[in-house]
């Protein structure tokens, strides 16, 4: 379906539904599994940390591999999705049903399998969504539908373990979560396959790998990278901010849930506004709005939970635009560069930059805090807490300001 009537909500849901289990399965990989193996299974922190570092490097390289495979055999995109879904389900199930011995090896193997599956599904889901319709407004609406399902899956992944753990224990709760992921994928993949067979979104028309005009795509990547880093820093530091600066550790779950719930209407608003005004201007406006929230965050002090809840609402709403609009903008640049044959590799690079930003945020913020004498869950000096706030809010504020300038200048010059 490359032209003609606008796709129906049912058709877009058939495409976007797969994002729900994809996001639902992503949270255990990055949040639950490391802490579960350390706290519940007693793996040594040093060995687990080294293993995680290797896995993060592997994970960052899997997106480009998935992009190359998908571009090399474009008619097998559906097969790659099915294979990736199976690997994701098996990997997460294995993670939370560990054997009695060799648990570090088991952890590494299960994480690698699940990460490969996640990359295969996510890269192809983004690529096919961009290739479905050429109209920029429709592409933004399609992206909004996908990200709304993804956020629903993320909210479910936040709520479910917390709700079940008091009743059955954390280990069984995570095992139930892994089983539910398999069930969700068993339902979502056939729905996605039915959508794929009905629409055939130009995937088979994409040629085999050929040189990519990266210089035509470079302005987009240079603009999106500071946004990704500005989101990764608060993600790495929010629990410390809530516990050590605000002194409200029991409200951390509420703040996170508020943020993700606010992003749901943010995705829909971003898609609707981009269809009317264009993706780049809407994204610039959302970035400026989020900058106001980060500026207000710099005034936070102990006990100011109401103020931080309002910040979570506003930044979460703007986060919806960060999810929806970059993929839509990227595919527009891919078409302008005549690089549809390399769409999966281009989206794979976006995935790589996202994971690299997460790694860089931790590598930058945590050592700086340690040098300043910051100690998690212990009394800290005003200087150490000030640095925490600067890394959480001031640095993201500056990074988003840089992104706004890059987007504005390059959009006026026709490069984005």
Q: What is the pLDDT of residues 112-163, one digit of tens each?
A: 999 899 989 998 898 888 777 767 667 778 888 898 899 889 888 878 887 8
Please tell me whether residues 4 and 22 are part of one structural domain.
yes
Residue 266: domain span: 213-416
Of 40, 337, 78, 336, which is closest to residue 203 (Cα–Cα)?
78
The 10s digit of each residue's pLDDT in 60-88 is: 788 888 888 877 887 888 999 999 999 99
C-alpha dihedral over 54, 56, 59, 60, to 10 degrees? -110
Of 396, 273, 255, 261, which is closest to residue 324 (Cα–Cα)?
273
Query: What confidence score (pLDDT) does residue 210 get?
Result: 53
Domain count, the chain: 2
Phi, psi of 18 (to 5 degrees): -60, -25
Q: What's the CA gap between 293 and 314, in Å, rounded?
A: 7
Q: What's the CA gap between 225 and 373, in Å, rounded?
A: 29
pLDDT at residue 39 above 70? no
DSSP, residue by residue, 98-151: --SS-HHHHHHHHHHHHHHHHHHHHHHHHHHHHHH---HHHHHHHHHHHHHHHH
Query: What confidence score (pLDDT) does residue 136 get?
Result: 63
Please tell me whether residues 284 and 401 are part of one structural domain.
yes
Across the chain, which distance is largest between two alpha carbons, in Å?
63
The CA distances from residue 362 to 230, 295, 371, in Å, are 12, 22, 14
Phi, psi of 131 (to 5 degrees): -80, -15
pLDDT at residue 391 above 80? yes
Residue finishing a domain among 183, 209, 235: 209
Please tell me whether residues 148 and 291 are part of one structural domain.
no
User: How is residue 154 written in tokens?
Assistant: 């993320």
Please tell me whether residues 105 and 201 are part of one structural domain.
yes
Please tell me whether residues 176 and 237 are part of one structural domain.
no
Name the 3-class secondary structure at 210: coil
Give the whole-number percent of the chain exceeding pLDDT 70. 92
Give the whole-number percent of the chain exceeding pLDDT 90. 42
pLDDT at residue 239 above 50? yes
Name the 3-class secondary structure at 408: helix
Please tell me whether residues 8 and 35 are part of one structural domain.
yes
Residue showing tokens 């100011």: 304
Of 323, 126, 331, 158, which is closest to residue 228 (Cα–Cα)?
323
Query: What confidence score (pLDDT) does residue 204 get?
Result: 47
Q: What's the CA gap between 372 and 368, in Å, rounded?
A: 6
Residue finishing a domain among 163, 192, 209: 209
Helix pair 103-132, 305-336: axis angle to 10 deg? 60
The 10s digit of each residue's pLDDT in 272-323 is: 899 889 999 999 999 999 999 999 999 999 999 999 999 999 999 999 999 8
Please tell me whether residues 92 and 142 are part of one structural domain.
yes
Containing H/E element for 233? helix 214-240
The CA distances from residue 122 to 18, 48, 348, 361, in Å, are 9, 26, 9, 22
Whether 376 and 244 have beta carbons less than 8 Å apart is answered as yes
Q: What's the CA gap between 141 and 324, in Å, rounded?
A: 8
Q: pLDDT tier at 179 (50, 70, 90 boundaries)?
A: very high
Please tell me whether residues 204 and 245 are part of one structural domain.
no
Whether 397 and 295 have beta carbons less than 8 Å apart is answered as yes
Query: What confidence score (pLDDT) does residue 287 get?
Result: 98
Query: What confidence score (pLDDT) does residue 2 get?
Result: 46
Please tell me whether residues 181 and 235 are part of one structural domain.
no
Residue finishing a domain among 209, 231, 253: 209
Of 274, 254, 261, 257, which is closest to residue 326 (Cα–Cα)?
274
- Residue 96 sits in a domain of what CATH number? 1.20.1250.20
- The model carries a pTM of 0.76
DSSP state of 243: I
Of 335, 329, 327, 258, which is closest to residue 293 (Cα–Cα)?
258
Please tell me whether residues 391 and 243 are part of one structural domain.
yes
Please tell me whether residues 290 and 386 are part of one structural domain.
yes
Please tell me whether residues 262 and 368 are part of one structural domain.
yes
Query: What confidence score (pLDDT) does residue 212 get?
Result: 65
User: How is residue 129 written in tokens?
Assistant: 């969504």
Q: What's the CA gap between 26 and 88, in Å, rounded?
A: 9
DSSP state of 7: P
Helix pair 103-132, 136-168: axis angle to 10 deg? 150
The 10s digit of each residue's pLDDT in 204-232 is: 454 445 566 778 899 999 999 999 999 98
């Amino acid at each position: 379906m490359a032209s003609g009537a606008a796709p129906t909500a049912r058709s877009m849901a058939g495409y976007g539904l797969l994002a729900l289990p994809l996001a639902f399965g992503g949270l255990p990989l990055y949040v639950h599994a490391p802490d579960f193996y350390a706290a519940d299974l007693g793996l040594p922190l040093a060995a687990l940390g080294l293993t995680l570092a290797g896995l993060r490097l592997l994970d960052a390289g899997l997106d480009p591999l998935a992009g190359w495979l998908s571009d090399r055999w474009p008619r097998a995109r559906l097969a790659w999705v099915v294979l990736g879904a199976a690997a994701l389900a098996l990997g997460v199930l294995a993670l939370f049903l560990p054997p009695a011995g060799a648990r570090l090896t088991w952890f590494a193997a299960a994480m690698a399998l699940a990460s490969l599956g996640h990359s295969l599904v996510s890269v192809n889901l983004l690529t096919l969504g961009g290739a479905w319709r050429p109209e920029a407004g429709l592409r933004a609406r399609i992206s909004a539908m996908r990200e709304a399902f993804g956020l629903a899956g993320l909210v479910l992944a936040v709520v479910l373990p917390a709700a079940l753990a008091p009743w059955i224990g954390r280990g069984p709760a995570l095992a139930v979560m892994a089983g539910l992921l398999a069930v969700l994928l068993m339902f979502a993949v056939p729905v996605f396959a039915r959508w794929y067979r009905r629409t055939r979104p130009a995937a088979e028309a994409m040629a085999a790998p050929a040189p990519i005009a990266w210089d035509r795509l470079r302005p987009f990547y240079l603009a999106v990278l500071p946004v990704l880093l500005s989101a990764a820093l608060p993600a790495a530091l929010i629990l410390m901010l809530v516990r050590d600066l605000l002194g409200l550790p029991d409200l951390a779950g509420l703040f996170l849930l508020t943020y993700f719930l606010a992003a749901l209407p943010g995705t829909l608003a971003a898609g609707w506004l981009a269809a009317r005004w264009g993706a780049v201007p809407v994204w610039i406006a959302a970035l400026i709005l989020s900058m106001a929230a980060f500026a207000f965050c710099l005034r936070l002090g102990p006990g100011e939970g109401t103020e931080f809840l309002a910040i979570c609402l506003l930044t979460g709403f703007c986060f919806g635009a960060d999810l929806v609009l970059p993929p839509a903008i990227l595919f527009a640049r891919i078409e302008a560069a005549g690089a549809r044959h390399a769409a999966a590799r281009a989206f794979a690079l976006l995935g790589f930059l996202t994971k690299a930003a997460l790694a860089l945020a931790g590598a930058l913020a945590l050592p700086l805090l340690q040098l300043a004498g910051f100690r998690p869950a212990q009394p800290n000096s005003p200087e150490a807490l000030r640095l925490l706030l600067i890394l959480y809010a001031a640095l993201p504020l500056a990074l988003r300001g840089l992104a706004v300038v890059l987007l504005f200048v390059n959009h006026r010059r026709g490069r984005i």
